[in-house]
């Protein structure tokens, strides 16, 4: 699902290196630059702070189902721009903060965000580095190693969560800082999605069974030490590519600090092979009970797909819940 020079955008995107370009300062108080409201703030920024004197071409980047994506070619290089006509800057603010945090680990390559702001007609935009993609998703072993390096380097002293709420697809993702991982995952991941299914579909069955599972999650984490690791949060095949040198690139994050195993929750559509996991676990050793928890982390994403795309994903989510309830004999 990745083309030669651009990637699929689910709510996210892809982008060519501008090594001379100043990256933004991602401090806790001012993590990125917000744009002033103008007639065309995207063009204004590119022709001023972007150091271009002319925009030579604007071309659409296909594949997105939530946001519109475009490539802006200029005499100062290319930029990747995403716009939303219906959502304010908070969604792209969360994405920019996540990209900045991943960049700071100096591990795996991600596009650098340059500007986030409101559109004068409503909605918002984000301007990013455009990365020239290669013709494949790159070496799986290198991807596994670099992802593990990001998890190892990206730590938080605040606990589990993130400085802002963000989105998983177009679903709100609540990142309230929590000291206990089991509580965080139960309330802000599974619980939020289950309540959404109840409100949206009146699905009291999956809600009631999911509640039983949530109350017993701790049984899957006995004798497991969990550190808050920086997670991409939405790692599936459409958000993985490689640059023109073959180095892995990951895109379109839904970042937060969580249990590193939660990164594999989208593995059912990520295509990770044995070489990926072998390389990953060389850097981040596998913890006891990993296989038993694997479906638990997939459940969050199956529930989200159910809420986003409908009943086709309900059976997968229900099957996982039922399996755990059988294991727990409840």
Of 279, 53, 46, nearest in space to 145 by CA: 279
- For 136, counting Cβ atoms within 10 Å of its Cβ (0-12 exposed, 13-18 middle, 19+ buried), the class is exposed
pLDDT band at 136 (very low <50, low <70, confident <90, very high): confident
Element (H, E) at 199: helix 192-201
Mean pLDDT of 213-232: 96
The tokens for 107 are 């591990």
Residues 284-310: tens digit of each pLDDT: 999 999 999 999 999 999 999 999 999
Cα dihedral 286, 291, 293, 297 sign? positive
User: Rounded CA gap, 278 and 135, in Å?
Assistant: 24
Q: What angle do CA 119, 123, 124 make, to 5 degrees?
A: 60
User: Rounded CA gap, 10 and 250, in Å?
Assistant: 13
- Alpha-helical runs (H) found in 274-313: 274-283, 290-309
Give the pLDDT of residue 33: 53
Residue 240 in this model has a pLDDT that exceeds 80: yes
- Alpha-helical runs (H) found in 202-285: 204-215, 274-283
Give the pLDDT of residue 61: 86
pTM of the model: 0.87
Q: Which residue has the higher pLDDT, 228 or 24?
A: 228
Query: How far from the centroid of its chain's Cα atoms is residue 275's Cα?
Result: 23
User: Rounded CA gap, 323 and 10, in Å?
Assistant: 30
Mean model confidence pLDDT for the chain: 89
Of 234, 295, 322, 323, which is the active-site residue? 234
Give the pLDDT of residue 135: 80
The tokens for 62 are 């296909």
- Alpha-helical runs (H) found in 202-264: 204-215
Residues 82-97: tens digit of each pLDDT: 999 888 899 999 999 9
Helix, strand and coil percent figures for the chain, each rounded to 5: 40, 20, 40
Mean pLDDT of 115-123: 94
Give, in order, the Cα–Cα distances in Å from 251 to each of 29, 80, 99, 174.
Answer: 24, 12, 8, 20
Q: What angle do CA 170, 165, 79 make, to 5 degrees?
A: 65
The tokens for 185 are 């995952």
Of 134, 265, 135, 127, nearest in space to 193 by CA: 265
User: Rounded CA gap, 223 and 209, in Å?
Assistant: 26
Neighbours of 139 (CB within 10 A): 17
Residue 11 in this model has a pLDDT that exceeds 60: no
Give the pLDDT of residue 138: 76
- For 143, counting Cβ atoms within 10 Å of its Cβ (0-12 exposed, 13-18 middle, 19+ buried), the class is buried
Give the pLDDT of residue 29: 35
Give the pLDDT of residue 62: 72
DSSP class of residue 88 equals: -
Cα dihedral 162, 129, 1, 172 sign? positive
3 state DSSP class of 287? coil
Task: Look up 234 and say whether it is catalytic.
Answer: yes
The DSSP annotation for 88-128 comes to -THHHHHHHHHHHHHHHTTSSB-PPEEEEEE-TTSSEEEEE
User: Rounded CA gap, 263 and 298, in Å?
Assistant: 9
Element (H, E) at 240: strand 240-242
């Amino acid at each position: 699902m990745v083309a030669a020079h651009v990637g699929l955008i689910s709510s996210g995107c892809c982008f060519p290196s501008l090594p001379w370009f100043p990256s933004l300062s991602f401090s806790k108080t001012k993590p990125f630059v917000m744009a002033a409201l103008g007639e065309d703030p995207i063009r204004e920024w590119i022709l001023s702070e972007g150091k271009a004197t002319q925009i030579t071409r604007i071309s659409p980047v296909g594949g997105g189902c939530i946001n519109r994506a475009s490539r802006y070619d200029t005499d100062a290089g290319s930029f990747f721009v995403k716009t939303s006509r219906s959502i304010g800057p908070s969604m792209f603010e969360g994405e920019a903060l996540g990209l900045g945090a991943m960049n700071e680990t100096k591990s795996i390559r991600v596009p650098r965000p340059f500007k986030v702001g409101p559109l004068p007609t409503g909605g918002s935009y984000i301007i990013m580095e455009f990365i020239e993609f290669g013709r494949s998703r790159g070496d799986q072993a290198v991807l596994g190693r670099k992802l593990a390096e990001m998890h190892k380097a990206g730590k938080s002293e605040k606990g589990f969560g993130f400085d802002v709420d963000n989105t998983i697809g177009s679903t709100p993702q609540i990142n309230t800082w929590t000291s206990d991982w089991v509580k965080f995952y139960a309330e802000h991941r599974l619980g939020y999605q289950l309540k959404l299914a109840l409100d949206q579909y009146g699905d009291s069955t999956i809600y009631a069974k999911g509640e039983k599972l949530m109350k017993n999650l701790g049984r899957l984490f006995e004798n497991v030490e969990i550190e808050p690791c920086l997670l991409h949060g939405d790692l599936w095949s459409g958000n993985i590519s490689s640059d023109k040198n073959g180095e892995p690139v990951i895109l379109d994050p839904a970042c937060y600090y969580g249990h590193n195993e939660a990164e594999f929750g989208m593995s059912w559509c990520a295509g990770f092979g044995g070489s990926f996991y072998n390389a990953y676990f060389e850097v981040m050793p596998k913890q006891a009970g990993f296989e038993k928890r694997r479906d638990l982390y997939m459940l969050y994403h199956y529930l989200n797909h159910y809420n986003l795309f409908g009943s086709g994903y309900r059976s997968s989510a229900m099957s996982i819940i039922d399996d755990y309830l059988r294991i727990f004999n409840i």
